[in-house]
Structure 1
Amino acid sequence: MTADAVPGRRELHFPSGADRCHAWLYLPVADATTGPPPVVVMAHGLGAVKTLRLAAFAERFRDAGYACLVFDYRHFGDSEGRPRELLSIRRQRADWHAAIACARSLPEVDGDRVVLWGTSFGGGHAITTAAEDPGVVATIAQCPFVDGLASARQLSPRSTARLGVAAVRDQIARLLGRSPVRVKVAARPGEIGLMDAPDVTDGFLTLLAASGLTEEEARNAVPARVAFEIPVHRPGRQARHVRCPILFCVCDHDSVAPAEATLRHAAGAPRGEIKRYPAGHFDIYTGDHFERMVADQIAFLDAHVSASVAA
């Protein structure tokens, strides 16, 4: 573990597969009367990295008394892994379990009170991981990707066909040992991408600006082969197997992870709670929607995890 340039957090690495994931560790001010704090394990969405506004959420959780372990998936951000920006569902799910193992090993936190927090594609991973790990005490799935087919239907038939061609070309390149054929994650009209709804470009640019990043600095392209995985990926089906309290934060105007699919799966979670927001997929990272959502999430944590009293 090393010191970070940002006050109040530290950098660390943890192993996942043959590589290492990079993470930020946020710790609240120590309080001898309460003992080690619960820890929230956090990761981003489709092709995204922790520098895209995850610090804003982690800082609020820390100020409310929760430790946070915020990590980049392998192949992304500051984590290791080649080729860069490889979007592998299987590897990302393994990264979540590795991050939980890391969190439970940290002496500064209460390893028996691990919370999962995932947004967008990471929200789907959080659901699946909570279903697989009975030791998780609470989960927050923010505008979660729950149904690949429902999300794929947001693309036009022409866009779907072009994306399929790119995926075939990428698979051939992989078999021949060539560089990946890449597609945009957030695509402008006319570009080949995983998301191309009308509000995607403006939402992505707003998220970049709020994170202090430019479009040139963003790695907004991934190997196209993931296009074969996404339509059949349905993590929402695991919601009925999540035994801990789970909060679904649903954006009613979500053009990436449709609200109808999320609400349908959330209804099957035994201890599920739902909060709805009159917002689009990218709106909840800034402004009033962010303020309302993070306040609801802290209230959920205080009700079910408690930053002040160990279970």
Structure 2
Amino acid sequence: MTVSFRSRELRCDATFYRSEAAEPAPCIVMAHGFGGVRSAVLPEIATAFAATGFQVFLFDYRYWGTSGGQPRGLVDLNAQRADYRAAIAHVRTLTCVDPTRVVAWGTSLSAGHVLEVAADDADLAAAVITNPYTDGRAAATIVLRTAGRRTACALLLRGIIDRIRRALGASPLRVDLVGEPGSRALITAAGAASSYRVVVPPDDHGRSPAVPARIVLDLPRDRPVTRAGSVRCPILVCVCDRDRIAPRGAAQAVARRAPLGHLQSYPVDHFGLFHEPWRSRVVRDQTDFLWNVLDPPRRTLGGPR
């Protein structure tokens, strides 16, 4: 079921997956990572969660998917976190949702959003972050190491120019989100482009998304890992051991620093958790964790009995 909610006066669209629960049920609030939309890959995960008894609320950020806002494809970290908070506030008003058992779920970039939201929301019941981006400084180091100093400087220059264009009211200067090694894209790790295209289909021109370049200036200063100690709810951190995009060390630090942090590792790359057989295993592990936290008497790998 497609629904909408408001976030800072903008419309955000979501798909609501209803469970068969006869009473108000826990709800998982989900959003995509860097450059994704709610129609790509995540519906399979949301459907699996709903089959175990959860209500699931999967939404598109402003500027992405079917949600409102201009310019399209803008990655605004603060705005996306505001959208997460608005989505959580919205589901707490739904009669079919138990407002005391709302879960924030994030993948890649949205994992950092979940950390920030969970650090500020004392009423959140639990959080789950998958192949998580948690430290922009560490991520920028990976970009520099992978792309080289010359490419990194070119990306930085494009970010500065895009900021100037925004101040002048001009259209954004964009940068490719993913590309082959040696290209001037944000993510150029070997195999990343082909893996990303499997997860997020290309646009009508056969290209992966190109985003306003100003994000290049924002990411190095963004460090959600520093908020881990303020996350009071149980949080499951699912790390990919072969991740060459999201820094593993920073994600592992979240599990150590969060008072109720739990770490789960998988021998795959950044996108490996979206493919079988790992996707089913991750959903099973996360479902088990969440029911154990939210309703211990019903604990089972398949959800509530």
Answer yes or no: same fold by TM over 0.5: yes
Report the Cα offset of residue 214 of structure 1. 4.2
Which residues in structure 2 correspond to 1:162-311 (within 5 Å)? 162-208=154-200, 213-214=201-202, 216=204, 220-306=209-295
Correspondence 1:23 to 2:6: no
Inter-partner Cα distance in structure 2 for 1:39 and 1:182: 36
The letter for the 2-side match of 1:183 is V
Inter-partner Cα distance in structure 2 for 1:220 and 1:192: 13
Structure 1 unaligned segments of length 5 or more: list them: 1-9
Inter-partner Cα distance in structure 1 for 2:191 and 2:64: 24
Correspondence 1:127 to 2:119: no
CA contact (8 A) 1:65 1:307 kept: no
TM-score, scaled to structure 1: 0.91
Q: Which range moved further: 64-73 or 163-172?
A: 163-172
Report the Cα offset of residue 39 of structure 1. 0.4
The letter for the 1-side match of 2:277 is D
- Secondary structure of the corresponding residue to residue 139 of structure 1: strand
- Secondary structure of the corresponding residue to residue 214 of structure 2: helix
Q: Deviations over 1:91-120 (max 9, x none)?
A: 011101100111101112112210010000
The letter for the 2-side match of 1:40 is I
Inter-partner Cα distance in structure 1 for 2:76 and 2:68: 14
Aligned residues: 294
1:91 corresponds to = 79
CA contact (8 A) 2:179 2:188 kept: yes
Inter-partner Cα distance in structure 2 for 1:308 and 1:170: 54
Correspondence 1:77 to 2:65: yes
Taking only aligned residues, the RMSD between alpha carbons, in angstroms, comes to 1.7
Q: Deviations over 1:47-84 (max 9, x none)?
A: 21111211011101100000000001111101001111
CA contact (8 A) 2:232 2:260 kept: yes
- Secondary structure of the corresponding residue to residue 116 of structure 1: strand
Name the CA shift for 1:292/1:146 in 2 (closer, same or farther; >3 Å).
Answer: same
Inter-partner Cα distance in structure 2 for 1:166 and 1:145: 23
Inter-partner Cα distance in structure 1 for 2:26 and 2:208: 32
Inter-partner Cα distance in structure 1 for 2:95 and 2:213: 40
Inter-partner Cα distance in structure 2 for 1:86 and 1:226: 8
Inter-partner Cα distance in structure 2 for 1:218 and 1:158: 24
Name the CA shift for 1:218/1:104 in 2 (closer, same or farther; >3 Å).
Answer: farther
CA contact (8 A) 1:86 1:222 kept: yes
Report the Cα offset of residue 306 of structure 1. 2.9
Report the Cα offset of residue 308 of structure 1. 8.4
Name the CA shift for 1:290/1:249 in 2 (closer, same or farther; >3 Å).
Answer: same
- Secondary structure of the corresponding residue to residue 112 of structure 1: strand
Correspondence 1:118 to 2:106: yes
Inter-partner Cα distance in structure 2 for 1:308 and 1:108: 21
CA contact (8 A) 1:124 1:144 kept: yes
TM-score, scaled to structure 2: 0.92
2:125 corresponds to = 137
1:4 corresponds to = none
The letter for the 2-side match of 1:82 is Q
